[in-house]
Amino acid sequence: MGMGIEIGELFIILAGILLVFDFALLSKATAKDKRKLEYAFYTSAIACALVVASYLSLTWAFVSDNFSLSEVYAYSSSGLAIWYKLGDPWIGASGSMLFLTFLFTIVYFMYRFREPESETGDEKGSTFRITLYKTTDAFLIFFILLVLLHSPFEHFPMSMSMQTVLTEGAGLNPLLQTFWVLIHPPVVFLGYTFVFFAFALTLTGMIAGGLEERERRTLKRSLYAAWLFLALGIALGGWWSYEVLGWGGYWSWDPVETASLLPWLALTAYFHLSPKSSRDENMAGEFTLLLTFLAIIFGTALTRGGLLESVHAFGRSPVGPALMLFAAAILFFFFYLCRKAKKPIYTFDVDSSSLSSVSLVIAYWSLIFLMIICFLGDAVPIIGGLFSENPMTTSPEFYNKWCFPFTLAFVAALAGCNASAYIELKKYLGLIFAVLCVGVVLAWLGQPTPNPLANFGLPLILVAGFTIAYNFARVLRRSAKKSSTRLWGKTIVHFAIILILIGVFVSSTTETESGFIFAKPNSTIEALGMEIELKDFTISTSTGSVYSAQHRFVLPEHSALKMDVSIKDAGDVHQRAMWTKYYANHGAVSEPLIISTLTGDIYIYMQSTKSSSDSLLYALMGQKIQPETFIVSVKRIPLIGFIWTGILLLGLGMAVLLVGELVNTGEINRRVHRR
């Protein structure tokens, strides 16, 4: 019973010890010490293999239903589908840290073992890579300590009934039993991993006095990959919330949601640094990547350490404080290196007569200020909680109010970047002033939305979209054969942001809601101009079972109420079904019914009354009793398709930029090889 725990934990402990040994060997080695480098090579290879083995050991524990492990008991059951069991290691609180360590190990492996140090003849390059390996070893050792601090291989306390625990688990949270749980966390963690590796490269460059051209290309590829995966992670999380959680929206400014924006905003700001902000003159690029790295550490501490209450967060654990101490150590080390390099963090080297130069500076700082606002929205309640027993929260109104001006500033900067080739700065400022005057008039008229801020901002967003499209058509017409993947990728990304903002401004301010409607089976209700015909309930229980700690015996995992509905809307008829379920260990969960149309979505959500709750409880015990009443909520969300279309285009544009960078790097490497 204990071998699974002992083996998995032993693997990760041995990996940590070997990485410490690898760090020590590299610290004493020079580029000419071929024997030491060879020993370090094999030491790190075994360490990486042990991390992989530890992760596979945890995966096997889930697949084989080893409920003696607390992690397996809390997130699985014998009847859970095999694909969820394979994904369980990255779903749980402690298992997810092991998964992140596993991914970082794979990236480290792919970089280090493509060219063993004992075989390279480039002394300067070897010295740089030795420093990089030491930096990466230090990161991995810390991550391994985090895994052990809240180990996924922990047993239950001996006081519990181990015989019962061994036969069944508590089951996976129903909100996690979705296709998206198999994609969203790995995508997010891949984004984190590429940022970690890029920041290790950055620190190494600061220690070594700069990056060689080869490492600069590797850094750029890593950052493009991180940018893509972070964006996809946020998008997948937004759709998951919209489709599964029943919030009726893609965003709610939940603390973990907000934290997920921080690294993406910082990395987007990095890509909008002015070319004049050279690495040889200041540390703006390095500092922005530091912010990206610290934002990930903060978000991980928030989620895995339970620093704030959130539907996404796990309970409190020592992982949170440990991550914050790590962030503080990295921050101090970074500023030590900055002081040693004797370079300023940032210099406002802007050409005030150049629209392009001014636009880039505005874009960069508007994104940085958006990041600061989002960080404060999460950090202030954490700090306040240290001095008050009553938990503090940050309202959505705070974010909407303070993010609005910087969002418009960023939109104006996007327009300026695209218009800089054919319009002067003074004329552009006049255009922006005229557009804002139109916004003032629309805000005063209360059109086209009920929200004055949205009405004020929409003209600027539309003009920015036109500017992006016009500039792309203009450049493409002049040099169609020479158009680069960078031009295509950049244009698609910019246009995608405009589409997303149009969707956000319109859908969030024009949605209508029916409120609670008390309904009965076999009846017809009217809501928001629709006629909804309700049928009888179909009552069922799941085939899988779970152990209920509350009742101290095994029960069906859930009971369910299904209702077929017919929705008549402006001549269209939609035949669908609504569901609500009661899980023995997690309570009631309703799945929203979403009907997508060209003009927007119809969003129907069923909520429980005492009658329907009792019916679900009786069904769990084997009795089928029809509910007498239940509650229905209906929403209309106009133009939300703009958001999903924009997100798809955003991912496409980022993928084009990444592929272009990979192709360009491959061509450069081939040229160097031929020489």
Q: How large is the average pLDDT for residues 485-510?
A: 93
pLDDT tens per residue, range 565-581: 999 998 889 999 998 99
Do both 197 and 345 map to the same domain? yes
Q: What pLDDT shows up at residue 446?
A: 93
Question: Per-residue pLDDT for 161 more than 70?
Answer: no
Domain count, the chain: 4
Q: Please, are residues 143 and 100 in contact by the beta-carbon 8 Å criterion?
A: yes
Q: How large is the average pLDDT for residues 505-512?
A: 92
Q: Please, are residues 2 and 61 in contact by the beta-carbon 8 Å criterion?
A: no
Residue that is last in its domain, among 172, 205, 231: 172
Q: What pLDDT shows up at residue 563?
A: 92
Do both 442 and 570 map to the same domain? no
Assign residue 547 a region (left: φ > 0; alpha: ψ between -120 and 50; beta: otherwise). beta
Q: How far apart are CA 562 and CA 568, in angstroms?
A: 19
Domain that holds residue 145: 1-172
Q: How large is the average pLDDT for residues 308-325?
A: 74
Q: What pLDDT shows up at residue 551?
A: 64
Do both 356 and 397 map to the same domain? no
Q: How large is the average pLDDT for residues 378-391?
A: 78
Categorize the per-residue pLDDT at 167 as very low, low, confident or very high, splitting at 50, 70 and 90. Answer: confident
Could you tell me if residue 285 is inside a domain?
yes
Could you tell me if residue 107 is inside a domain?
yes
Q: What pLDDT shows up at residue 289?
A: 96
154's tokens: 């922990």
Do both 569 and 614 map to the same domain? yes
* Amino acid type, 247: W
Assign residue 413 a region (left: φ > 0; alpha: ψ between -120 and 50; beta: otherwise). alpha
pLDDT tens per residue, range 197-211: 999 999 999 998 888
554, β-bridge pairs: 547
Higher pLDDT pick, 456 / 590: 456
Do both 296 and 433 map to the same domain? no
Categorize the per-residue pLDDT at 588 as very low, low, confident or very high, splitting at 50, 70 and 90. Answer: confident
Higher pLDDT pick, 98 / 421: 98
Could you tell me if residue 26 is inside a domain?
yes
Q: How far, in Å, are 98, 134, 299, 424 from residue 141 at the CA level?
A: 12, 10, 20, 53
Do both 11 and 155 map to the same domain? yes
CA 427 to chain centre: 39
Could you tell me if residue 181 is inside a domain?
no
Strand 572-583 versus strand 587-591 pairing type: antiparallel
Q: How many residues does the chain have?
A: 675
Comparing 275-284, 306-315, 342-351, the range with the smallest average pLDDT is 306-315
Do both 119 and 82 map to the same domain? yes
Categorize the per-residue pLDDT at 392 as very low, low, confident or very high, splitting at 50, 70 and 90. Answer: confident
Structure-token match 């084997």, residue found: 622
Do both 164 and 227 map to the same domain? no
Q: How far apart are CA 125 and CA 138, in angstroms?
A: 20
Could you tell me if residue 178 is inside a domain?
no
Do both 70 and 127 map to the same domain? yes
Higher pLDDT pick, 269 / 547: 269
Q: How large is the average pLDDT for residues 544-560?
A: 79
Three-state DSSP at 278 gives coil
Q: What pLDDT shows up at residue 416?
A: 93
Could you tell me if residue 182 is inside a domain?
no
Could you tell me if residue 166 is inside a domain?
yes
What lies within 8 Å, CB to CB, of 468 at 6+ separation is 414, 415, 418, 491, 494, 495, 498
674's tokens: 């031929």
495's tokens: 């246009």
Comparing 61-65, 81-85, 86-90, 118-122, the range with the smallest average pLDDT is 118-122
Question: Per-residue pLDDT for 561 more than 80?
Answer: yes
Do both 565 and 649 map to the same domain? no
Question: Per-residue pLDDT for 543 more than 70?
Answer: yes
- In a 10 Å sphere around its CB, with 0-12 CB exposed, 13-18 middle and 19+ buried, how is residue 309 labelled? middle
Residue that is last in its domain, among 366, 390, 414: 390
Q: How far apart are CA 440 and CA 494, in angstroms?
A: 25
Q: What pLDDT shows up at residue 315?
A: 61
pLDDT tens per residue, range 357-384: 899 999 999 999 999 999 999 998 888 7
Handedness of CA 369, 373, 378, 381 (dihedral sign): positive
Comparing 11-25, 91-105, 153-167, 568-582, the range with the smallest average pLDDT is 153-167
Higher pLDDT pick, 572 / 230: 230
Q: How large is the average pLDDT for residues 409-418?
A: 94
Could you tell me if residue 177 is inside a domain?
no
Q: What is the DSSP string of 117-141?
A: GGG---HHHHHHHHHHHHHHHHHHH
Q: How far apart are CA 236 and CA 238, in angstroms?
A: 5
Do both 531 and 418 map to the same domain? no
Q: What is the DSSP string of 396-450?
A: HHHHHHHHHHHHHHHHHHHHHHHHTTTS-HHHHHHHHHHHHHHHHHHHHHT-SSS
Question: Per-residue pLDDT for 672 more than 60?
Answer: no
Query: What average pLDDT does the chain have?
Result: 87
CA 601 to chain centre: 24
Q: Please, are residues 345 and 277 in contact by the beta-carbon 8 Å criterion?
A: no
Q: How far apart are CA 625 and CA 632, in angstroms?
A: 20
Do both 542 and 625 map to the same domain? yes
Residue that is last in its domain, among 339, 359, 390: 390
280's tokens: 């040889």
- In a 10 Å sphere around its CB, with 0-12 CB exposed, 13-18 middle and 19+ buried, how is residue 40 labelled? buried
Question: Per-residue pLDDT for 160 more than 60?
Answer: no
- In a 10 Å sphere around its CB, with 0-12 CB exposed, 13-18 middle and 19+ buried, how is residue 28 labelled? exposed
pLDDT tens per residue, range 52-82: 999 999 999 999 998 888 889 889 888 889 9
Q: What pLDDT shows up at residue 482?
A: 55
